[in-house]
Structure 1
C-alpha cells in the first residue's frame, strides 16, 4: 500500500490554451494521524502517513516530550478507520510531561503549539544557538539546485513540502516530505536522530515560508542554520536574531536574503 499518494481522476480545463481533457493526477495523501503518548490522546494532525516512525521521534523532540532519542521506548503506527494511529511509548517520568499538556484537537499540520495554553508558553525562552559550521553561498546554491532530486513525492504531485539536511558543503544528506511543512521538518529531525546524524553539523533547507514554529524546531534540534525558499514572518526573524540562529530566506538560484548571520558563518 502506498502511504504517500494516490491516483485521482481530474479534468483539464483549457484557459489560455484550449483543449479540455480527462486526466489522472497523482495527489498526496492527507490523513488524520492520531498521536497518542503512553496510551493517552495527545494530538490529531493532518499529515502524509509515510515515515511515521521518523515523525513520532521528531515530534516528541520538537514538543519537548523527550530530551534524547533513546527516551522513546517504542513507536507503533498502523491504519485505523478514517486515518492512522501513531502511538509513542515513553518512560513514566516523560509520560507525565505529556499528560500535563495532553489535549486532543485537529490541526492542519504540526504547528509546534501542542498542549500550550497561553501566550507566555508560546514565547517560552529558546536555548541560544551554540553550534557553528563553516559554509558559504556556493553551498546554499548547491543544496537548492539538488533539492528537487530529493523530492519524489513533490515531483509526482506538486503539493507537498520538503525538509532537507545539508552538509556545510551543500550536499543533501537526508530529506523528508509531507503535506505540512512542520510535519516535514519533524520527520527530518526524527530521521536524523535515528540515523545518528548530529543536526549541529550542517544546515536545514525547507521548501516553505519561514514561520516562527520552523525557527523554534530548528533551534531546539540544535541546528545552527536554516534556509527557506520563501520569506520569513516577523516573529521568525525576531526569534532567529534573539537566539543567534543563522537564517537565510527567499533562497533562489540567483539570490537569497540573509536575515541573521551573527557568527559570520556564510562566506
Structure 2
C-alpha cells in the first residue's frame, strides 16, 4: 500500500527576487506542491459509502487517508483496512483520488462530517468538541520523557524535513521514541495533513506508540491534540504556542502538552508528570 512517486512535492515557478540594495534577480523559485486529494471509503461490498477531500502536498497519500480516517473514528484498528489504492476511474487526477477499502462497515457514520476539509482544518464538520472527546478515550500509561531529550526534538524534526529545506513552505510532524529516536517524520503544506501522514504511517505499520512522542513544527490546535490522543500517544512537543482549547483538550484527554520547546526550554501546559527534569519528575 505504498504511494507511487510523488507527482509534485515541489514545483519551480518564475519569480523576481528584490535585493535590499535595490537590485533584482529573475529566475525560478522552488515552492511546496499543493493539490487536492479526494478520499473515498468503500465498505466490504466495494460500494463507496463516503467521500472527503483535502488540499495537500502530494506524496504519502495512503498514510494521509489512513491517519485522517482514524482521527475521524471511521477506522480504529489496522484490521479494519483491507487496502488503500488509487482510483482507476479518473484520468488527469488519478493520483489525486484514493479509496480506502474496509473489511467491515465504517465505525462512524460518514454523514456526520462535511465533505470538504482543507489543509489547515483537520476535523471540520464535526458536530461538537464534546462528541470528539467522548469517542476518544483518555491516554494512560506510565511514559516519562527526560526534559533534556524533549529539548532536542524540534531540531531533530527539522533535520528530517528535506522538503522544508528545499522550499521553506512545509510543516513537519513526527513520531519519536522516548529516547529521542525518530520513528517517522512527514511533511505537508498543512499542519493537520503532516500529522495525519505520520500517524497514518504508524497505523498502517501496526505500530504500538503508547511510549512515544508527537513532535510538531508549529503551533498546537485542538485538532492536533485530538489526533494524537486518538493514536494513543501520550506526549506532544511543539516549537510554537498552543491554543487555549488545545490545552484544555490535552488535560481532558490525558495528553502531556509541551510547547515553546526551543533554546533548551519548554513550557508544559498539561500532565507535567510525564516530564522528568534534572530535579526529578515535574508535578
Per the TM alignment, residue 118 of structure 1 is displaced from its structure 2 partner at its CA by 4.7
CA distance in 2, matches of 1:122, 1:197: 23
The 8 Å contact of residues 145 and 275 in structure 2, kept in 1 or not, is answered as: yes
Structure 2 counterpart of 1:91? 103
Structure 1 counterpart of 2:280? none
The 8 Å contact of residues 61 and 69 in structure 1, kept in 2 or not, is answered as: no
Task: Answer yes or no: is 1:48 the counterpart of 2:57.
Answer: yes
What does 1:96-245 align with in structure 2 at a 5 Å threshold? 97-101=108-112, 103-114=114-125, 116-118=126-128, 120-121=130-131, 124=134, 126-245=136-255
Per the TM alignment, residue 122 of structure 1 is displaced from its structure 2 partner at its CA by 5.0
Per the TM alignment, residue 125 of structure 1 is displaced from its structure 2 partner at its CA by 5.6
Relative distance call for 1:140 and 1:119 in structure 2 (3 A) is: closer
Structure 1 counterpart of 2:77? 68
RMSD of aligned Cα (Å): 2.2
SS at structure 1 position matched to 2:39: strand
SS at structure 2 position matched to 1:73: strand
CA offsets 1:76-120 (integer angstroms, 9 cap, x no match):
1257546711211113422x7344436422534451235x23565
Per the TM alignment, residue 28 of structure 1 is displaced from its structure 2 partner at its CA by 1.0
SS at structure 1 position matched to 2:229: helix
CA distance in 1, matches of 2:268, 2:70: 27
SS at structure 1 position matched to 2:140: coil
Per the TM alignment, residue 126 of structure 1 is displaced from its structure 2 partner at its CA by 3.6
The 8 Å contact of residues 145 and 178 in structure 2, kept in 1 or not, is answered as: yes
CA offsets 1:144-194 (integer angstroms, 9 cap, x no match):
222222101111111111101111111212101111100111111111122
CA distance in 1, matches of 2:192, 2:273: 26
- Between 226-235 and 134-143, report the one with greater CA deviation: 134-143
The 8 Å contact of residues 241 and 260 in structure 1, kept in 2 or not, is answered as: yes
Structure 2 counterpart of 1:21? 25
CA distance in 1, matches of 2:203, 2:73: 14
Unaligned runs of 5+ in 1: none
Count matched residues. Answer: 264
Relative distance call for 1:51 and 1:76 in structure 2 (3 A) is: same
Relative distance call for 1:177 and 1:228 in structure 2 (3 A) is: same
Structure 2 counterpart of 1:8? 13
Relative distance call for 1:80 and 1:29 in structure 2 (3 A) is: farther
SS at structure 2 position matched to 1:208: coil
The TM-score normalised by the length of structure 1 is 0.90
The 8 Å contact of residues 45 and 109 in structure 1, kept in 2 or not, is answered as: no
CA distance in 2, matches of 1:125, 1:74: 25
